[in-house]
Structure 1
Amino acid sequence: MTSSNAIVAEQGHPVRAAGGGSGLWRASAARSSVELKSFFRNRQSLFFTLLLPIVLLLVLGSIFSGTVPGTHTDFKQMFVAGIIACGIMSVSFNGLAINIAIERDNGMIRRLASSPMPKSAYFVGKIVRVVVTGVLEAAILLAVGVALFRLPMPPDAARWLTFGWVLLLGATSCSLLAVAFSTAIPNSRSAAAIVTLPFLVLQFISGVFFPYSQLPAWMQTVAAFFPLKWMTQGLRSVFLPADFAVVEPAGTWELGRTAAVLGAWCVAALLLSLLTFRWRGANVR
């Protein structure tokens, strides 16, 4: 795809893709480039989606000290695992749902849907955006955790593999949830408030800021229905000592259950997205 077409794509106007698979690849590459440029040029989006978890980690790490009761693990190291999961949800669910709601409200999605560009290219662009920003988020948080809070790196390939599939399933499930949830947002003005509320609530009940086992039973039950709790627990299994598992409600890391719950959310959110996604905003004609 030519550079002029990429500029047209960035403005939300039709992009003509050549027939066949090569056309889809070029259209997807153009949309991916547009998504990344628009994200990194938007200072507000960059701060609240990418930098806020880093600021949160630094603030919490400077306030809390000591070890988690019943373990020899520093509170700060537990925070790092939780904030990484929180950061992945921020770039996937939070950022994506708000972005889609804005583009639906200003008519960009409708223009793209009625253009020769394959509709799938729109979602490929969103996926690339989440992957790139998610990897960058995780890398920065890891660097901060290792440099400032002495977070131990995974000692073996098995833990790195767990790190990979937890991030992949977590980002996928949260991204698909964002696509589905965006339909519930009436307009772009209310997008941030509507998306941020459940995101904040889940952070407090999913073991991000407090040891999960110390939360009231009803909070644990509610949190167990959503991906963030399992993402946080899966990442704790990667970075924290094996004896930390004794303070988990089940006394183990439950990695099999973590994979099953996150996988189920991927399927359920995909089906919900297919059934509910709207290309036209209520005020778009």
Structure 2
Amino acid sequence: MNPTATAVRGGFARAWIELRQMYRNAPELLGQFLTPALSLCALYLLRNREYADSGLSIAELALPGLLGSIIAFNGLFAIANVLVLDREDGTLLRAKAVPNGMIGYFVGKITTAAGSVLVQVLVVLVVGMLVIGGLSPDGPGAWLTFGWVVLLGLLAILPAGAILGGVLEGPRATFLLTMPLMGLIAISGIFYPITALPGWLQSVAQAFPMYWAGLGMRSALLAPETVAIEIDRSWRHLETAAVLGAWAVVGLLVAPVVLRRMARHESGSSMAARREKAMQRAF
């Protein structure tokens, strides 16, 4: 039996166990859904405020963007935080001690992260359609667009999260990463049309996958005439696929190199040094 294939199957089995544990644990569920729930509450309060003369409320326009931000923001942190914490507590070192353990470990963690993000997206979509409304997927083509945007978004984001998890040192570093990411959310047209921003901020936002994930969600879930508020009055599907695809290709090429380097440098002494630093910060 192929040892690599066995490790991959073990990774999928581990992911299934972790996902079941995640959704049977109240604190984990709270951590997963607190921010989306608060966002939905804010959008519910804005459901009667119309944006310009679009005929849609601000909440209806923002809901697809919220789904895009879940893919980008939660997808990145779902893998980055896990890698940082598992290096801190020795989980990664124990995986390294098992033959082909790193393969199974990474397959499991990436599958768990992707699964948790997919569940969040589907739950928020269903709840949002019920309490806010305004979404009008136009047949199988719209759902096909929804599917490829989610898939490409995850392929673009998860490798980036793995890279950050491989280079960041300590939970404090991942916490500090939150601030620039929240800034990206603010300028990415997630909760308000990007066309209302200055041109240079629009250019900055379009360099990152968060904007394109939100745009793809809007193209799939909003009425066709809503395209009038977008840049160039176009959903720009080709550009969306190109930018998300470029991030995915670069991430998939760079992430294995970073993760192999991280794994090579994992040792008992490096873990002890991190624990010592953590104790010094605590006191």
Common fold, TM-score beyond 0.5?
A: yes
How big is the shift at 1:183? 2.8
Q: Give me the whole-angstrom Cα distance separating, in 2, the residues matched to 1:21 and 1:134.
A: 26
CA contact (8 A) 2:60 2:132 kept: yes
2:79 — aligned with what? 96
Distance 1:170 1:110, change over 3 A: same
Distance 1:197 1:42, change over 3 A: farther
Aligned residues between the structures: 267
Distance 1:22 1:183, change over 3 A: closer
2:125 — aligned with what? 142
How big is the shift at 1:258? 0.0
1:83 — aligned with what? 66
CA contact (8 A) 1:36 1:129 kept: yes
Matches within 5 A, 1:126-275: 126-188=109-171, 190-275=172-257
Distance 1:269 1:44, change over 3 A: farther
RMSD after superposition? 2.3
How big is the shift at 1:200? 1.0
* TM-score scaled by length of structure 1: 0.85
SS at match of 2:160: helix
SS at match of 2:159: helix
Q: Give me the whole-angstrom Cα distance separating, in 2, the residues matched to 1:156 and 1:87.
A: 24
Question: Structure 1 residue 284 and structure 2 residue 254: aligned?
Answer: no
Q: Give me the whole-angstrom Cα distance separating, in 2, the residues matched to 1:161 and 1:122.
A: 31
How big is the shift at 1:25? 4.6
1:107 — aligned with what? 90
Distance 1:45 1:175, change over 3 A: farther
CA contact (8 A) 1:94 1:199 kept: no
Gaps of 5+ in 2: 273-283
For residues 5-35 of structure 1, give each alpha carbon's deviation from its aligned partner in whole angstroms, at most 9, with x where no partner exists.
xxxxxxxxxxxxx754662354123321343
Higher helix share: 2
Q: Give me the whole-angstrom Cα distance separating, in 2, the residues matched to 1:135 and 1:151.
A: 22
Q: Give me the whole-angstrom Cα distance separating, in 1, the residues matched to 2:86 and 2:20.
A: 15
How big is the shift at 1:160? 0.5
1:123 — aligned with what? 106
Q: Give me the whole-angstrom Cα distance separating, in 1, the residues matched to 2:256 and 2:56.
A: 43
SS at match of 1:155: coil
How big is the shift at 1:95? 2.0
How big is the shift at 1:126? 1.9
Distance 1:27 1:143, change over 3 A: same
For residues 58-90 of structure 1, give each alpha carbon's deviation from its aligned partner in whole angstroms, at most 9, with x where no partner exists.
223314632222422221111210111112223
How big is the shift at 1:247? 1.5
Letter in 2 for 1:102: L
CA contact (8 A) 1:89 1:174 kept: yes
Gaps of 5+ in 1: 1-17
SS at match of 2:232: coil
Q: Give me the whole-angstrom Cα distance separating, in 2, the residues matched to 1:136 and 1:283.
A: 36
CA contact (8 A) 1:27 1:117 kept: no
Q: Give me the whole-angstrom Cα distance separating, in 1, the residues matched to 2:237 and 2:111.
A: 27
CA contact (8 A) 1:98 1:191 kept: no
Choose 85-94 or 212-221, whichever is displaced more. 85-94
CA contact (8 A) 1:92 1:174 kept: yes
Question: Structure 1 residue 52 and structure 2 residue 39: aligned?
Answer: no
Give aligned-pair identity as a percent: 28
2:278 — aligned with what? none
